[in-house]
Amino acid sequence: MVFSSLRSRVAAATVVSGALVLASCGVFSDPTVSGSQRMLADFGAALDAQDAARAAALTSAPGQAAPTIAATLSGMHAESVSVRVTKPVEYSDGTADYGLDYTWDLGDGRSYSTSTTGTARKLSSGWRIQWDPTVLAPGLQNGGSLRLVRTDATPAPAVLDTARKPWMTPQGLTDVVFDPTATGDRASSIRRLAAVIAPIAPLITAPVITQRVAASGGKPTTVVALRDSDMQVLDGNPASVPGVSVNRTMALLTTDRRISSPLAESTAAYWQALRDATSGWAVQRVGADGGITRLAGQQGPPAPSFSTTISQPVQLTVNASVVDVAQPATMLVLDAASGAIVAAANNDAADAAGADLDNLVTPGSTLDPVLGAISATTGDDRGAGEKALHTLGLGVDYTVPGVTAATTNRAAISAAGLDSAPQVSALSMGALGVAIARMAGVAPTFVRGTTTTVRGGDLGPVDQALGARIAAAMRTTATTGDASDLTGAPDLRALVGTNGPQGPGWFVGITRGQVIVVHCAGEKSGSAALQVVQKYLRQR
């Protein structure tokens, strides 16, 4: 108290009342601004420039200050930092007092403001901030930092199947990563890792891991991603193997681990978009011991749960149907009455080839009966022919919430397009099957309560004569044509075709209230497509 009283009596003539905004253009030339204030102006400018080293150099302990300042700047992800000096007082004994008001512009209309106080000393190198982490924020410690984090409301939205049972849930996921540069004996580590994960991943052998590491150029490689339940049956701890680390995350996963579907990936993306739209934020003070104190923020409402039209029993059957053929195979099943997507699957070869439900490929001869029927019913009227094609669900683009992202109109055909078949996707072939089953085109759907966007043409009622011609041709294919060997579907109507010996091969069938679409690539793809369909019919 004696020292404080003495300082108040010997205050120099450079005492300034009020506040100084460090962003002021004249701060360096104004003769009424003291040396300590010019230093503080430099400190504020360094923070706004996100330059931790420059800001730390203006403190009495740059080595201690730099890590804390750097961690805070990187953790806050601020678009700008405004620093304002309040109540600056410089004393004749080479010290100064001041206050600092911080405003962190965090973007998207978010900001965080805080005020601190501190002291400065005039050293041989000039004026310097007497370093204390509280110069950045009240309560901050050496080794701590401020950070901006995303927050998600609880509970997370539920993802249900068509029976309103849980289909996907947030679950713990552990990535097992092998870094070949972090072990002295790469081959030994790989053998040990393969042995540890063998109970849950027997196909990921030492040669497979070696191959993956080589393909990555010797960089750290994720060998396998394991659910929490998987971790319980491993033959040891993967992290105990030299060169192996584990990274735990949360992910939206199917409740039944047997289910593998492109619908799971697209649904996870839709679920994440819902969470993103309702996410919140928080500014946290992290202590040197890792303790967290929430300082500010705002939380959005929980995202709504949603139901899909997937049938898990049908999905399991579809999964089992595509695995018996070696070439890439994609299968899609829709409800023939509504156009709702019931199941979809790729085999491993299709996944490796990057197959998607909206990939556009040639239909080959598959659509010959359709184009022939359109020609017979519309004659030379190209406009009428194109309109008829669109009512059947072909030549248009679909953006199906939970299945496909928004796209440009890639599939629309020109007036001359009727001279040959338009490119098609599994989705558009499914829409064709539904249009024939209903005698009216309808867009595929997946997330209940959402609307599919259609671009490039209008779906609608199918001309009765056109629909009858196509249905008759499909019935002939199923009874005496290329699909006549199929058993288990006495009511089947089908389109079958390929684009030459190397494919692709297509099957579009209507049976027992379902539309079945199979696409295979490669040699003998037409036979492969029929093989997939036959297995599905037997299991169903």
- pLDDT value at residue 494: 97
- Residue burial 127-148, b: 16+ Cβ < 10 Å; e: rest: bbbebbbebbbeebbeebbbbb
CA 268 – CA 159 distance, rounded (Å):
9
Residues 6 or more apart whose Cβ sits within 8 Å of residue 375: 385, 418
- pLDDT value at residue 32: 55
Residues 6 or more apart whose Cβ sits within 8 Å of residue 94: 121, 122
Do the Cβ atoms of 174 and 251 come closer than 8 Å?
no
H, E, C per residue of 38-79: HHHHHHHHHHHCCCHHHHHCCECCHHHHHHHHHHHHHHHCCC
| % helix, strand, coil for the chain, step of 5 | 35, 30, 40
Pairing type for strands 329-335 and 306-307 reads: unpaired
CATH 3.40.710.10 domain residues, the chain:
312-539
CA 227 – CA 171 distance, rounded (Å):
7
CA 191 – CA 470 distance, rounded (Å):
58
Residue 285 CA to chain centroid, in angstroms? 28
384: how many CB neighbours lie within 10 A of its CB?
15
- pLDDT value at residue 489: 94
Decide: helix, strand or coil at residue 122: strand
CA 374 – CA 361 distance, rounded (Å):
21
CA 149 – CA 183 distance, rounded (Å):
34
Residue among 508, 505, 509, 510 nearest 527 (CA): 505
Instruction: Write out the two tokens for 12.
Output: 């120099």
- pLDDT value at residue 407: 52
Instruction: Write out the two tokens for 7.
Output: 């300082």
Element spanning 331, H or E: strand 329-335
Place of tokens 């997937």: 310
Q: Give start and end residues of each alpha helix (H) in 425-508.
A: 426-438, 464-479
State pLDDT tens for residues 17-75.
344 444 333 333 344 568 999 999 999 999 999 999 999 999 999 999 999 999 999 99
**CA 480 → CA 156, 294, 437, 441, 491, distances in Å?**
53, 72, 20, 27, 13
The CATH number of the domain covering residues in 2-146: 3.10.450.50
CATH 3.10.450.50 domain residues, the chain:
2-146
- pLDDT value at residue 379: 86
Q: What is the pLDDT along the chain (540 residues), one digit of tens a residue?
A: 333 333 333 333 334 434 444 433 333 334 456 899 999 999 999 999 999 999 999 999 999 999 999 999 999 999 999 999 999 999 999 999 999 999 999 999 999 999 999 999 999 999 999 999 999 999 999 999 999 999 999 899 999 999 999 999 999 999 999 999 999 999 999 999 999 999 999 999 999 999 999 999 989 999 999 999 899 999 999 999 999 999 999 999 999 999 999 999 999 999 999 999 999 999 999 999 999 999 999 998 999 999 999 999 999 999 999 998 999 999 999 999 999 999 999 999 999 999 999 999 888 899 999 999 999 999 888 899 999 999 999 999 999 999 987 654 444 443 334 555 678 999 999 999 999 999 999 999 999 999 999 999 999 999 999 999 999 999 999 999 999 999 999 999 999 998 777 778 999 999 999 999 999 998 889 999 999 999 999 998
The CATH class that applies to domain 312-539 reads: alpha beta
Residue 480: φ, ψ to 5°: -130, -5
Q: Is the pTM above the cut of 0.85?
A: no
Instruction: Write out the two tokens for 320.
Output: 């089992």
